Amino acid sequence: MKTGNKVLDNSEIYPSDAIAKNKERIKNREMLRESKKIALKVLIKLDELNMKQRTLAELMHVTPQQISKIVSGKENLTIETQIKLQNILNIPILASFYENTATQDIYNTLV
């Protein structure tokens, strides 16, 4: 950007901490988008199974507050938590779900 006779680069217009904060905000937005997708899958499956969040918490060995965070879509889920959800609710979250399903399908055709 040019002002008078002086050329300003972006670092003079946007302080580096503002740029870093924007990058972090964008990264968090992507994480939240995925968390909300998982939350929706969990809520739908809980409804299908007529299962209470408290029951899911007991099965996962976590607090009901943790499940509340998960189903609100505001929690950055660890892989361990995603695997527990996937295995307990039998819903696709990670790529391994599809691998396990394909393996089971192959096994079923052989039996």
CATH code of the domain containing 38:
1.10.260.40
Q: Is residue 53 very low, low, confident or very high in pLDDT (cuts 50, 70, 90)?
A: very high
Give residue-wise pLDDT tens across range 15-50: 678 788 777 777 778 888 888 989 999 999 999 999
The pLDDT of residue 24 is 78
User: How many structural domains comprise the chain?
Assistant: 1
Taking the C-alpha atoms of residue 97 and residue 101, their distance in angstroms, rounded to an integer, is 6
Domain residue limits at 69 = 2-110
